[in-house]
Amino acid sequence: METECTAEKASPLCGFVALLLTLGTTSLMNGSLFPQFDAIFMFARDISVTFSAATLLGLGLAAYRAPRLLRERAIVAVAVACLVGGGALLALGLGFSAPAPLVAGASLAAIGRSVATISVALYLARLEMHATAVIIAAAYTVQLAASPASSLLPPWVGTALFLAFPLAAIALTARGARLYFDMAHDRPSPSDIAVTRPASFLAPFSALFVCLFLFQVAFGFALRFGEVAGTPRMSFLSAIPLALVALYVTCSRRRFPADGLVQLSALTVMAGFLLATQPLLAADSGAADVALLNAGNGLFIMAAQMALVTIAARNPLGAITTVAWGNGVSALGSLTGAAAGMLANGAAASVPALRVAIPAALLLVFAAYVTIGLKRFTFAGAIDGIDPVLVGATTTGKGTDAGAQAVPGAGTGSVPVPMPAARTPEEAFASRCAAIAEEFSLTPREAEVFAMLARGRDRAYIEEALVVSRNTVKAHVKHVYAKLGIHSHQELLDLVEG
C-alpha cells in the first residue's frame, strides 16, 4: 500500500522532510565528516565537492542537450549504489587512515548527494508555490540553527547520518521527481527549443547563476576562515534572521520576497566581511563575523532556491537543467570561497596582516558586484522573464510548438499592423506575416523564419526547410526578435494575432 509520500500527488510534508534531510547532509558533511579528513588527506574534502559540482553541472548539461539519455530509474540506481559503495570506502579510509579509499568514498558519496539534491528540488516544483516557500524558509532556518550540533556528534554517528540522509531524501522524492524526466524524455531537447524560444530557458551564464556563485564564495570563505581543528565556526544566532523570514512567509500569502532577501543578504554578508577585517570588534570570541556571513548566505540561498524551483515549475522542460546548474555553480562558489579561507588561514600564520587584507579584498569585490553587477538584476525579473512552457503538446514540425502557452496580458506594445483582405485563413495568416515583415524591415530570409515561428515550427523543421545550420537558425531568430522588439515566443504570437 502506498504512503502519502510515495503517492503520485506531491506532499508538502514529504517535501519539507526531504529538503531538511539534504540540508542536514551538508551540515553533517562540514561539521562532522570533513574534519576527520584533515588528519588523513586534507584535500579529500575539496575533491569530493568538485565531484559534486561536476555531477550537477554534467546532469544539467545532459538535460539541456540530450534529455533522452537521462533515465530517472537508472540515475536513482546509480545514486544509491554510489552512496552505499561510497559509505563502505569511507569506512575503510577512515578506519585505516588510507587516503585512496577515503577520496574514492567521499567522491562517490558526493555523486549520490547531488542526485538527491536534484530530486528534492524537482519534487518541490510540483507543490503549490506558497507551500514551497514555507517549506524552503522553514527548512533553511532549522538547518542553520541545528548546524552547530553536527560537530558534537560522535564521528561514526555523523558519518552514518551523512550517508543515510540523502538515501532517505531520494526514497521520499524520486517518484514525484520522475514526472520531469518523463516529460523531457519524449520531447525535443531544451537546447533545440531554446533556438526558437530563447526566453523560456535560463542562459548558462545568466545573472542568477552568477549571483549564486558569488554568494556561495562568501559561504565557502566563512566555512574555512578561522576554523578550529578543521571544524568551521558556527553559531545558532545565524538562524534568527531566517526564522523571522520563515514567520513572515508562513503568515503572509504575498509573493515570496526574494529581492528583499537578496538586499538584506548583501548587507549581512558585507557586515560579516567587515567584522572579519576587525576581529577585535567581533563578539562571541570572534565568531560574529562568521555568524553574519552564514546568516547572509542563508538568506540568499533561501531566495535563490525559491527562484530555481519557481522557474522549474514555470518551465518543466528546463526544470532539470535549472536546478542542476543552479546547485552546481553554488558548489563551485563554495569551493572557491573555501580555498580563499584556507589561503587566509595559512597566510595569517606567517603574515598576520593578511588576515585582515584578504577579507578586506573580498569585501571590496563583493560590494562592487552588488552595487554595479546587480544594478539591473532582480529575482522577480528573472522569474517573470521566463516564457512559460506548456507540456501538453509535443513538437511535431506541423505547427505544434513544444510548450506554447498563452500568457494573459502579454504583448509587445507595437501598433497593430493592418491585415489585407484574404480569401482563406491560410492566406490571411500569410498576408499578416508578410505585412509585419515589411513593417519591421525583415530581410526575405528573416521573413521566412518569422512565418515559421508564427506557425510554431521548431528548430529542426526550420533547419531542414531552409537547408541551413543550427547556428544560422539561431542567428536568424535572434535578429527577428531584435527587429520586432520582442523577447518571447508568446509576444511573437500576440503580434501576429494583434
The one-letter amino acid code at 12 reads P
Both 188 and 58 in one domain: the answer is: yes
Domain end residue (candidates: 319, 353, 384): 384
Domain end residue (candidates: 327, 362, 384): 384
Both 346 and 461 in one domain: the answer is: no
pLDDT digits (tens, 9 = 90+) for 297-345: 889 999 999 999 999 998 898 999 999 999 999 999 989 988 888 877 7
In angstroms, the Cα distances linking 261 to 300, 328, 362 are 6, 22, 21
CA dist 35 and 18 (Å) reads 25
Strand, helix or coil for residue 228: strand
The predicted structure's pLDDT at residue 27? 92
Q: Which of the residues in the chain have pLDDT under 70? A: 1-8, 226-233, 279-287, 390-423
DSSP string, 232-286: PP--GGGHHHHHHHHHHHHH--SPP-HHHHHHHHHHHHHHHHHHHH-GGG-HHHH
The predicted structure's pLDDT at residue 324? 96
294 occurs within a structural domain: yes
414 occurs within a structural domain: no
Q: What is the CATH number of the domain that holds 351?
A: 1.20.1250.20
83 occurs within a structural domain: yes
Cell of 73: 530509474
The predicted structure's pLDDT at residue 293? 81
Q: How many domains does the chain have?
A: 2
Domain end residue (candidates: 361, 384, 407): 384
Domain region containing 482 = 425-497
Both 88 and 212 in one domain: the answer is: yes
Strand, helix or coil for residue 394: coil
DSSP class of 378:
-
Cell of 236: 545558532
pLDDT digits (tens, 9 = 90+) for 174-204: 999 998 998 877 788 888 888 888 888 887 7
Strand, helix or coil for residue 231: strand
**Which residues are paired to 231 by β-bridges?**
228
DSSP class of 317:
G
DSSP string, 395-437: --SSS--TT----TT----PPPPP----SSHHHHHHHHHHHHH
Let me know: does 10 contact 176? Beta carbons within 8 Å: yes
Between the two ends of the chain, the Cα-to-Cα distance in Å is 53
User: For the whole model, what pTM was predicted?
Assistant: 0.83
In angstroms, the Cα distances linking 459 to 388, 397, 404 are 18, 9, 14
Please give the distance of CA 171 from its chain centroid, rounded to a whole number.
21
> Phi/psi at 377 (nearest 5 deg)?
-105, 135
Both 254 and 364 in one domain: the answer is: yes
411 occurs within a structural domain: no
Let me know: does 492 contact 408? Beta carbons within 8 Å: no
Q: Quickly count helices (H) and strands (E) in the chain.
A: 21, 0
Let me know: does 123 contact 14? Beta carbons within 8 Å: yes
Nearest by Cα to 146 from 155, 134, 158: 158
In angstroms, the Cα distances linking 447 to 148, 265, 401, 473, 476 are 62, 47, 19, 12, 9
412 occurs within a structural domain: no
Which residue has 585505516 as its cell numbers? 96
